[in-house]
Amino acid sequence: MTNSHPTAADGPQPPHEPPAPADPAQPPHEPPAAADGAQPPQGPPAPDTDSRTGGAGGNPNPAEGRVPTTHPHPTTHGLHTHLVVTRPTFHLDITLTAAPGEVVALLGPNGAGKTTALRALAGLTPLTAGHLRLDGTELDRTPPESRPVGVVFQDYLLFPHLTALDNVAFGPRCHGATKAEARTQAAAWLDRMGLAEHAGVKPRRLSGGQAQRVALARALATRPRLLLLDEPLAALDARTRLDVRSQLRRHLAEFEAVAVLVTHDPLDAMVLADRLIVIEHGKVVQEGTPADIARRPRTDYIAHLVGLNLYRGRAEGHMVKLDTGPAITTTEDLAGDVFVAFPPSAVTLFRDRPTGASARNLWRCEVSGLETHGDQIRADLTGELPLAADLTTVAAAELDLHPGAPVWATVKATQTHAYPA
Amino acid sequence: MTKADASGAAAGTLTGGPRRRRVRAAVPLPLLLPGAVALVFLLLPLVALLVRAPWSSLPSLLTSTEVWQALQLSLVCATAATAVSLVLGVPLAWLLARTEFPGRGFVRALVTLPLVLPPVVGGVALLLALGRNGVVGQWLDAWFGITLPFTTAGVVVAESFVAMPFLVISVEGTLRAADPRYEEAATTLGASRFTAFRRVTLPLIAPGIAAGSVLAWARALGEFGATITFAGNFPGRTQTMPLAVYLALQNDPDAAIALSLVLLTVSIAVLAALRDRWMTAS
């Protein structure tokens, strides 16, 4: 919780509110205990005043001018939730915490429950059990319209009958701003997103990247304490995706509250998020920084995503005996249940049993599939040890690889990486 | 062989262009003959109406006070009935499309019942409910001094009863086809469910509401059975166009034809207004 700053009081403490910028976007009917009331007051969205640019920094914003007062539970800042949603065919049960300023990605295959988790956070799907606390306020039973939560939907769901400006102004309007105020705020948000000249355009005239930014502006315009993004880049073609991803990264870095994004694309998750939570079958299977998860995957799904061969076994010193039979020699000296991972590029293939090589990490396999992978060929092997191997096109031709061909595969111990399971 | 066949072939060569040689599978006679008869059967009465229309005396017929009165009353009552249907029917359509409650299917069946109910039966039922001695009507009379039967308001009630289901069904269908996630998006932006309906859903389903309104209005304009049963046939007060047509046919057939032509024109206009919605299948 390096990002947690003691400025946002978690209880209703109106006496300590600074007199300065009254936020017209505040809902007048908001219950006093709601998290919005504890939000650092901010002026209209001027790009340079209300956010700490530069991303990872979690310094308290001096503009907030809030004197730290009563903090019975300083750890309640940010998001603390245990989401349980039970359906006849599906069960989601995940615990999720995030500090203000942190970007968390829920990564997982289709049907893992990522979107259900997001809908539960937004209040669109009711929780079967568990709890949801945001900046110290219980939100389990709060209807979606009263939650300080902003959502960027997968296909954006921009209201087709409203201009980009009125789409962004919709939230402030619902929070009690007058039409003129709401439009002024919306114009500032669009300006910040570099869309000032598209303010009067209906959504269908916007490009994918522009629509994505309007959707982000619309979600941010309500000044949420929790920003949810559902597959924010999935609707874009590969070319715009690169651009939009870096822009989104910048905007998320400027966002001062919790952001949770859902994606099945590991690259999006690793570029955009500070921390990844990998979900499979409605459960958290791994959690950590992108680098950590890329280096030490714990399930086949993640290993496949980050392009590693992954095995589970029991280590005795430098030898890991796999559950499936064969053994792998590693450089790490470990004991007990471990994972062993190595990249496909570390594998060397031979047509005949290599005579000079040591017998360590040598397995007899059979080619089950071949596919081009950039300028490389990725060979899927079955046999003693199922693995993926990368080799050059020339090498593949020399080896005369074809499905069904017998090969010998070796991996140097120094190329493997073992870590406790 | 038949006239329809000949004209169809002619149309084919006209629209198909010289280079388009269509290989036409033979149309089976058991389908072609009844189909042609049906077409003639549907068109013949309308043709007869046009053939026998007193074109020369038409202007004077249509400007007579009686016709003018009936036309005015019809337009006012049909529009009022459409307004009633909109105010009450759109919320009902929303409830049917967007909420879950026990017996919803049954309620929807009840809503569509007036669509298939003989209008006269509807009129009788309205009398029993809202008549001076009706189940509710007696209280309306006793407490508020309101009598609906045989008044202009009664005409509006009768027409609303018959027309509202058209609007409800049309709007409900549009609502079901509309993406409910727009409403969800609106609620995440802080809109209450009603605000989401008013500012997002309503504009999105506006075309469906317009189509339903036109349909309901046309149905109300042509309403005969329920109106004459519940509201009677008093010129200037409850005598709408269809009633006037029926009455005029007894003593002044030319006036009846003239009035019918007006209603036919309105029907064609309605069809034209809705062509995008229902004529695109062809």
Write the secondary structure of chain B as one string of H (helix), E (strand) and C (coil).
CCHHHHHHHHHHHHHHCCCCCCCCCCCCHHHHHHHHHHHHHHHHHHHHHHHCCCCCCHHHHHHCHHHHHHHHHHHHHHHHHHHHHHHHHHHHHHHHHHCCCCCHHHHHHHHHHHHHCCHHHHHHHHHHHHCCCCCCHHHHHHHHCCCCCCCHHHHHHHHHHHHHHHHHHHHHHHHHHCCCHHHHHHHHCCCCHHHHHHHHHHHHCHHHHHHHHHHHHHHHHHCCHHHHHHCCCCCCCCCCHHHHHHHHHHHCHHHHHHHHHHHHHHHHHHHHHCHHHHCCCC
Give the mean model confidence (pLDDT) for residues A226-235: 90
Shortest Cα distance from A413 to chain B (angstroms)? Answer: 53
B residues 168-187 lying closer than 8 A (beta carbon) to A: 179, 181-182, 184-187
Query: Which of A37-51, A80-94, A404-418, B7-21 shows the lowest per-residue confidence on average (mean pLDDT)?
Result: A37-51
Over residues B139-149, the pLDDT tens digits come to: 888 888 888 88
Contact state of B199 with A153 under an 8 Å Cβ cutoff: no
Contact state of A153 with B181 under an 8 Å Cβ cutoff: yes
Write down the H helix ranges in A105-145: 114-122
Nearest-CB residue to B189 (from A123, A124, A171): A171
pLDDT of A145 strictly over 80: yes
pLDDT of A167 strictly over 60: yes
Contact state of A124 with B179 under an 8 Å Cβ cutoff: no
Give the mean model confidence (pLDDT) for residues B146-161: 91
Over residues A118-139, the pLDDT tens digits come to: 999 999 999 999 999 999 889 9
- Of these ranges, A37-46, A351-360, B19-28, the one predicted with the greatest mean pLDDT is A351-360
Contact state of A153 with B192 under an 8 Å Cβ cutoff: no
A residues 110-169 lying closer than 8 A (beta carbon) to B: 122-124, 143-147, 149-151, 153, 157, 159-161
Nearest-CB residue to B190 (from A27, A157, A160): A27
- B207 to chain A, any CB pair closer than 8 A? The answer is no
- A357 to chain B, any CB pair closer than 8 A? The answer is no
Shortest Cα distance from B79 to chain A (angstroms)? Answer: 27
Confidence class for position A356, pLDDT limits 50, 70, 90: low
**Residues from chain A contacting residue B182 (CB–CB below 8 Å):** 157, 159
**Residues from chain B contacting residue A160 (CB–CB below 8 Å):** 204
Contact state of A222 with B190 under an 8 Å Cβ cutoff: yes
Confidence class for position B276, pLDDT limits 50, 70, 90: low
Q: What pLDDT sits at residue A357?
A: 57
Give the mean model confidence (pLDDT) for residues A281-293: 90
pLDDT of A85 strictly over 90: yes
Shortest Cα distance from A205 to chain B (angstroms)? Answer: 17
A residues 21-40 lying closer than 8 A (beta carbon) to B: 27
A117 vs A71 pLDDT, higher one: A117
Residue A4 CA to its chain's centroid (Å): 19
Contact state of A124 with B182 under an 8 Å Cβ cutoff: no
The residue of chain B nearest to residue A222, with distances taken between CA atoms, is: B189
Over residues A308-322, the pLDDT tens digits come to: 888 888 998 888 988
Give the mean model confidence (pLDDT) for residues A150-174: 94
Q: In chain B, pLDDT over 70 holds for what percent of residues? A: 89
Q: What pLDDT sits at residue A183?
A: 94
- A179 to chain B, any CB pair closer than 8 A? The answer is no
Nearest-CB residue to A159 (from B184, B187, B200): B200
Give the mean model confidence (pLDDT) for residues A276-303: 89
Q: What pLDDT sits at residue B20?
A: 56
Nearest-CB residue to A222 (from B181, B189, B204): B189
Query: How many C-alpha atoms does A338 have within 13 Å on its Cβ side?
Result: 25
Using only C-alpha atoms, chain A has a radius of gyration, in whole angstroms, of 26
Q: What pLDDT sits at residue A318?
A: 86
Contact state of A150 with B185 under an 8 Å Cβ cutoff: no
From CA B146, how far away is CA B137, in angstroms rounded? 8
The two tokens of residue A28 are 């007048």
The residue of chain B nearest to residue A156, with distances taken between CA atoms, is: B185
pLDDT of A66 strictly over 70: no
B218 vs A33 pLDDT, higher one: B218
pLDDT of B226 strictly over 70: yes
Contact state of A174 with B191 under an 8 Å Cβ cutoff: yes
Q: What pLDDT sits at residue A75?
A: 61
Q: What pLDDT sits at residue A61?
A: 40
Query: Which of A98-112, B7-21, B252-266 shows the lowest per-residue confidence on average (mean pLDDT)?
Result: B7-21
Contact state of A222 with B195 under an 8 Å Cβ cutoff: no
Q: What pLDDT sits at residue A24?
A: 41
Contact state of A124 with B192 under an 8 Å Cβ cutoff: no
Give the mean model confidence (pLDDT) for residues B38-49: 93
Q: What pLDDT sits at residue A63?
A: 38
H-run or E-run covering B194: helix B193-196
Contact state of B188 with A160 under an 8 Å Cβ cutoff: no
Query: Which of A182-196, A399-413, B37-51, B115-129 shows the lowest per-residue confidence on average (mean pLDDT)?
Result: A399-413
**Residues from chain A contacting residue B193 (CB–CB below 8 Å):** 145
H-run or E-run covering A97: strand A90-98
Confidence class for position B252, pLDDT limits 50, 70, 90: confident
Contact state of A145 with B191 under an 8 Å Cβ cutoff: yes
Listed residue (B234, B163, B152) closest to B244, CA to CA: B234
H-run or E-run covering A104: strand A103-107
Contact state of B184 with A143 under an 8 Å Cβ cutoff: no
The residue of chain A nearest to residue B206, with distances taken between CA atoms, is: A161
Contact state of A159 with B187 under an 8 Å Cβ cutoff: no
- Is residue B163 within 8 Å of B223, Cβ to Cβ? yes
A67 vs B259 pLDDT, higher one: B259
Q: What pLDDT sits at residue B185?
A: 95
Using only C-alpha atoms, chain B has a radius of gyration, in whole angstroms, of 23
The residue of chain B nearest to residue A157, with distances taken between CA atoms, is: B182
Give the mean model confidence (pLDDT) for residues A56-85: 57
Give the mean model confidence (pLDDT) for residues A150-158: 93
Average pLDDT, chain A: 80
Q: What pLDDT sits at residue A42?
A: 42
Give the mean model confidence (pLDDT) for residues A361-374: 86
Q: What pLDDT sits at residue A71?
A: 42
Give the mean model confidence (pLDDT) for residues A185-193: 93
Confidence class for position A102, pLDDT limits 50, 70, 90: very high
Instruction: Report phi then psi at A17, rounded to 5.
Output: -65, 130
Q: In chain A, pLDDT over 70 holds for what percent of residues? A: 81
Contact state of A145 with B203 under an 8 Å Cβ cutoff: no
The residue of chain A nearest to residue B193, with distances taken between CA atoms, is: A145
A50 vs B112 pLDDT, higher one: B112
Nearest-CB residue to A145 (from B190, B200, B203): B190
Over residues B197-214, the pLDDT tens digits come to: 999 999 999 989 998 999
Give the mean model confidence (pLDDT) for residues B25-43: 92
Contact state of A159 with B191 under an 8 Å Cβ cutoff: no
- B280 to chain A, any CB pair closer than 8 A? The answer is no
Kindly report the pTM of this predicted structure: 0.72
Contact state of A144 with B199 under an 8 Å Cβ cutoff: no
Q: What pLDDT sits at residue A241?
A: 84
Q: In chain B, pLDDT over 90 holds for what percent of residues? A: 45
Q: What pLDDT sits at residue B15?
A: 47
Q: What pLDDT sits at residue A4?
A: 40
Contact state of A153 with B187 under an 8 Å Cβ cutoff: no
Contact state of A151 with B188 under an 8 Å Cβ cutoff: yes
The two tokens of residue B13 are 């060569």
Q: What pLDDT sits at residue A53?
A: 38
**Residue of B98, B188, B204 to mutate, interface with A, max A Cβ within 10 Å:** B188
- Is residue A389 within 8 Å of A379, Cβ to Cβ? yes
- A297 to chain B, any CB pair closer than 8 A? The answer is no
Q: What pLDDT sits at residue B23?
A: 64
